[in-house]
Amino acid sequence: MMRQIWWKIITFLILLYVGTMGFLVAVPKLDGRLQQSIRNLFFHVPMWICMMILFTFSVVHAVKYLKDGKADADIYSLEFARTGCVFAVLGLGTGMIWAKYQWGAAWSSDPKQNGATIALLIYFAYFVLRGAITDDEKKAKIGAVYNIFAYCMLFPTIWILPRLTESLHPGGQGSEGNPGLNPDDTTAAMKTVMIPAFIGWSLVGIWIATLRVRYKLLLNKVEDRALENQ
């Protein structure tokens, strides 16, 4: 039993630490609006890190399904994608809160905001596509292929194209906005919270996804037994 829950206990302790020290750790005194809002770095950026990890797990299981055709792989792929979308929404939400303070508006059609939204809509279409197909095997196969496409689209929409145009967001050409990811503004003290935040939130995402997988697998077993008893 302890082998199954030790990492969950660690996850809880990490997030307790992040949730506490995220508001207590010393941050650099910067000019402009940034100031204390830089603490959102411990919550906003980890959402995207977690999203990428979950989507990566999802696409790996999609490839496994196409290779082996095992239904369990399709369930893993689906649930990791669902959980990844939850963290994508959280990433957008925390980003909009930060943008409201930094740029004066929660939504300014910044290239990175638009790119993240497009990527999320592509994944939403994945669920719509699956819901439109009634045959389970065909649903899994087409869904797996689309999942690979959606994952590939993450890179141009989030990581490449927004960096090739002017952006208020850090990392883009002509960036004049929030310098929260500037190495000069990220102190050693902040890293003692930021790195655990990346780990803790990612583990929470995996925890949620595996719980959904276990529930779905159990539900399938119950349905199979019900069919056998008919």
Q: Cβ distance 121 to 85 under 8 Å?
A: no
At residue 187, the pLDDT reads 82
What domains does the chain contain, in order, with CATH numbers?
2-229 (1.20.120)
pTM (whole model) above 0.75: yes
More confident residue, 109 or 121: 121
Around Cβ 16, how many Cβ atoms within 10 Å? 11
What would the pLDDT profile of 45-97 be if each residue is shown by its tens digit?
999 999 999 999 999 999 999 999 999 999 999 999 999 999 999 999 999 99
Contacts of 202 (CB under 8 A, 6+ apart): 46, 49, 50, 53
pLDDT in tens, 114-154: 999 999 999 999 999 999 999 999 999 999 999 999 999 99
